[in-house]
C-alpha cells in the first residue's frame, strides 16, 4: 500500500471524483490503490511518494578514460518521479555530455565528492566496477548496481566480500530466455567498435601491416575473423561486412551458425569453432576479434601464444572478452590512453572499457536497459525486487560477505552460498 503526500491529496481526490463521475461509479473509499496511483501519475503528472524512499547515488567514474556515467538525466527524472532522492557527483555526467544543471533540473542533488555520494546513498548506480580507491567507500548492506566482472579479478572479489556490500552485476542479470539484457547494449557498441579499432590499428603508422580493410578495385580487402557468434560477434561481423571485408564468424552452436548464415550479409561466412578450424582461419587473417562469453565466468583461451606464429606479422588481435579475462592467451587489459602492445609481431588491442570512448551513445543505451531494473530495486528494495524477478536474482554475485554466484565461486575456489530471500 502506498500513501499520498499531503501536497497532492486534493488533486488525488479530484481525480478520483472525476473518474467516478465519468464512469458512473460511486466511490466511498479513498484508499490509494494501484489503479489510482496510476491515474494520478499519468493523468495529473503527479508523483506519489512511497512510504519509504531510497537514496540513490551516481558517482563519477574514475577508471582510466572512462567517460560514461551511471544514468542520464532522463533516467534520474524517472527515479525522482517515483519519489526517490538521487545524488549525483559534481561533473559526473560531463564526459557523456550531461551537465550538473541538467541533473539539477530534473530533481537530482549534486554533491561535491565521490566520498559524499557513497556515504549518503543506499544504492549506488555505476558503469564500471569499483576500483581500489573506491573499495573502502562501499559499506555493509549498501547496494551497488554496476558491471562487476568478478571472475577476472580476485582483488575486486575480496574487496567486495570485505565491504559487506550487496553487489548486483549487470552482466549476469538473465531472464528465462537466456538473454543478457544489461550486457547487450554495451556488447553491441563494443562489437561495432572492435572492427573500427581493428581497421585503425591495421594501418602501418599504427603498428599494423598497412592494409586497408575494404581494399580497392583490383586489390583484395582484409580478412576479418570473428570468434563467437553472440551479440558482440554479430555486431563486429556486420560492421566488417559493411566496410567490405572478407568476414568469417565462428561459433560452437550449430543452430546459431544456421541463424547467422541466413541473417548475415553475403560476405560473411560461418565456420564451426574448433581448435583446428581456428588455426586454419587465423593463418591469413588480418584482424581477429575475440567475442566469446561465458556469463559470469572466465572466457576460454581460443588463441594461444604458439598460435601467433601462424599469423601474419602486423595483423591485429582485438580482445573484447578482456573484461572476462580475455580469450587470447597473450591478452592483458589495456586502456584508452595506451590501447595496444605487440607480442611476437602481432598487434594486441585489449581495452577493458571499449564503449567508454563513445560515452554519450553508451550512457544513453545503458540507461535504456538498466532503468526499469533500477526503478524496481528502488521501489521495492533489493530483496523484494529479486524475490519477484528471477532475472534480477541472478545478478546477485556477492552479498554481505558471501559469494552468491556459482561461476565466481568456482573460478576462485571459494565457498558458494545459494541466497535464500
Which residue, 70, 60, 89, 97, is CA-closest to 358? 97
Segment 16-25 shows an average pLDDT of 42
User: Counting runs of H as helices and runs of E as strands, what totals does the chain give?
Assistant: 15, 15
34: CB partners within 8 A, 6+ apart = none
Q: For residue range 118-151, what is the model confidence (pLDDT) as tens digits?
A: 999 999 999 999 999 999 999 999 999 999 999 8
Per-residue confidence (pLDDT) for residue 349, from 0 to 100: 98
302: CB partners within 8 A, 6+ apart = 227, 273, 278, 290, 292, 327, 328
Which residue, 155, 189, 8, 145, is CA-closest to 81? 8
More confident residue, 378 or 10: 378
> How many angstroms separate the CA atoms of 302 and 327, rounded?
6
Query: Given a cut of 90, is residue 32 above it in pLDDT?
Result: no
> How many angstroms separate the CA atoms of 403 and 418, rounded?
8
Query: Which of 18-27, 181-190, 224-233, 370-379 comes out lowest in average pLDDT?
Result: 18-27
Percent of the chain with pLDDT over 70: 88
Query: Between vectors from CA 375 to CA 369 and to CA 377, what angle results, nearest 5°?
Result: 105
* Structural domain includes residue 418: no
275: CB partners within 8 A, 6+ apart = none
φ, ψ of residue 122 in degrees (nearest 5): -85, -35
* Structural domain includes residue 11: yes
Helix (H) or strand (E) holding 146: strand 143-146
Does 249 share its domain with 295?
Answer: yes
Q: Is residue 347 helix, strand or coil? A: strand
Of the pLDDT bands very low, low, confident and very high (cuts 50, 70, 90), residue 13 is very low
Per-residue confidence (pLDDT) for residue 293, from 0 to 100: 84
Does 349 share its domain with 365?
Answer: no
> How many angstroms separate the CA atoms of 146 and 71, rounded?
11
> How many angstroms separate the CA atoms of 317 and 303, rounded?
10
Does 95 share its domain with 151?
Answer: yes
Does 327 share its domain with 233?
Answer: yes
Does 216 share its domain with 348?
Answer: yes
Which residue, 369, 373, 375, 321, is CA-closest to 348? 321
Q: Give me the number of domains the chain comprises.
A: 3
* Structural domain includes residue 1: no
* Structural domain includes residue 379: yes
CATH of the domain at 103: 3.40.50.720
Residue 237 in contact with residue 244, Cβ under 8 Å?
no
Of the pLDDT bands very low, low, confident and very high (cuts 50, 70, 90), residue 9 is very low
Active site residues: 149, 323
378 sits in the region (left: phi over 0; alpha: psi -120 to 50; else beta) called alpha
Of the pLDDT bands very low, low, confident and very high (cuts 50, 70, 90), residue 218 is very high
* Structural domain includes residue 370: yes
Query: Between vectors from CA 275 to CA 271 and to CA 279, what angle results, nearest 5°?
Result: 80
* Structural domain includes residue 49: no
Residue with cell 525522482: 80
Q: For residue range 249-306, what is the model confidence (pLDDT) as tens digits?
A: 999 999 999 999 999 999 999 999 999 999 999 999 999 999 998 877 889 999 999 9
Q: Is residue 247 helix, strand or coil? A: strand
Does 392 share its domain with 287?
Answer: no
Does 94 share its domain with 121?
Answer: yes
Does 70 share its domain with 192?
Answer: no
Does 29 share its domain with 62?
Answer: no
Q: N- to C-terminal Cα distance for the chain?
A: 21
For residue 320, with 0-12 CB atoms within 10 Å meaning exposed, 13-18 middle and 19 or more buried, which class applies?
buried
Q: For residue range 53-109, what is the model confidence (pLDDT) as tens digits?
A: 999 999 999 988 899 999 999 999 999 999 999 999 999 999 999 999 999 999 999
Does 241 share its domain with 285?
Answer: yes
Per-residue confidence (pLDDT) for residue 421, from 0 to 100: 86
Cell output for 416: 558458494
Does 365 share its domain with 281?
Answer: no
Cell output for 263: 541473417
Report the predicted TM-score, pTM, of the whole model to 2 decimal places. Answer: 0.82
Does 191 share its domain with 231?
Answer: yes
Residue 300 in contact with residue 294, Cβ under 8 Å?
yes
* Structural domain includes residue 78: yes
Query: Given a cut of 80, is residue 45 above it in pLDDT?
Result: no
> According to the 3-state scheme, what is the secondary structure of 183-238?
CHHHHHHHHHHHHHHHHHHCCHHHCCCCCCCCCECCECCCEEEEECCCHHHHHHHH
* Structural domain includes residue 421: no
Print the domain residue range for 24.
6-43
Amino acid at each position: 500500500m502506498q500513501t499520498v503526500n499531503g501536497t497532492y491529496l486534493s488533486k488525488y481526490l479530484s481525480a478520483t471524483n472525476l473518474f467516478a463521475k465519468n464512469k458512473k461509479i460511486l466511490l466511498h473509499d479513498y484508499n490509494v490503490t494501484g489503479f489510482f496511483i496510476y491515474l494520478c501519475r499519468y493523468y495529473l503528472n503527479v508523483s506519489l511518494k512511497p512510504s519509504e524512499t531510497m537514496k540513490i547515488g551516481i558517482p563519477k567514474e574514475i577508471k582510466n578514460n572512462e567517460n560514461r556515467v551511471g544514468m542520464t538525466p532522463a533516467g534520474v527524472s524517472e527515479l525522482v518521479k517515483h519519489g526517490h532522492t538521487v545524488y549525483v557527483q559534481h561533473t559526473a555526467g560531463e564526459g557523456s555530455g550531461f551537465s550538473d544543471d541538467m541533473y539539477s533540473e530534473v530533481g537530482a542533488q549534486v554533491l561535491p565528492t565521490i566520498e559524499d555520494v557513497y556515504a549518503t546513498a543506499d544504492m549506488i548506480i555505476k558503469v564500471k566496477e569499483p576500483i581500489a580507491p573506491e573499495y573502502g567507500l562501499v559499506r555493509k548492506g549498501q547496494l551497488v548496481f554496476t558491471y562487476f566482472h568478478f571472475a577476472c579479478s580476485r582483488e575486486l572479489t575480496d574487496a567486495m566480500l570485505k565491504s559487506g556490500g550487496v553487489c548486483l552485476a549487470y552482466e549476469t542479470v538473465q531472464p528465462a530466455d537466456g538473454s543478457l539484457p544489461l550486457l547487450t547494449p554495451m556488447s553491441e557498441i563494443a562489437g561495432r567498435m572492435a572492427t573500427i579499432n581493428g581497421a585503425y590499428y591495421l594501418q602501418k603508422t599504427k603498428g599494423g601491416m598497412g592494409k586497408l580493410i575494404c581494399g580497392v578495385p583490383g586489390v583484395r580487402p582484409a580478412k576479418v575473423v570473428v570468434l563467437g557468434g553472440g551479440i558482440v560477434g554479430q555486431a563486429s561481423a556486420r560492421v566488417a561486412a559493411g566496410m567490405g571485408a572478407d568476414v568469417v564468424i565462428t561459433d560452437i552452436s550449430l543452430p546459431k551458425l544456421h541463424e547467422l548464415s541466413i541473417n548475415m550479409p553475403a560476405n560473411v561466412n560461418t565456420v564451426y569453432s574448433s581448435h583446428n578450424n581456428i588455426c586454419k582461419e587465423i593463418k591469413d587473417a588480418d584482424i581477429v576479434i575475440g567475442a566469446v562469453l561465458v556469463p559470469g565466468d572466465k572466457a576460454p583461451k581460443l588463441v594461444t601464444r604458439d598460435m601467433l606464429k601462424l599469423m601474419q606479422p602486423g595483423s591485429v588481435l582485438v580482445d573484447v572478452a578482456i573484461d572476462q579475462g580475455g580469450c587470447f592467451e597473450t591478452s592483458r587489459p589495456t586502456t584508452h590512453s595506451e590501447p595496444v602492445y605487440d607480442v611476437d609481431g602481432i598487434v594486441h588491442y585489449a581495452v577493458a572499457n571499449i564503449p567508454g570512448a563513445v560515452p554519450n551513445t553508451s550512457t544513453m543505451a545503458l540507461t535504456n536497459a538498466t532503468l526499469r531494473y533500477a526503478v524496481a530495486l528502488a521501489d521495492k528494495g533489493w530483496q523484494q525486487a529479486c524475490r519477484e524477478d528471477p532475472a534480477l536474482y541472478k545478478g546477485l554475485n556477492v552479498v554481505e560477505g558471501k559469494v552468491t554466484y556459482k561461476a565466481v565461486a568456482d573460478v576462485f575456489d571459494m565457498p558458494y552460498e545459494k541466497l535464500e530471500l
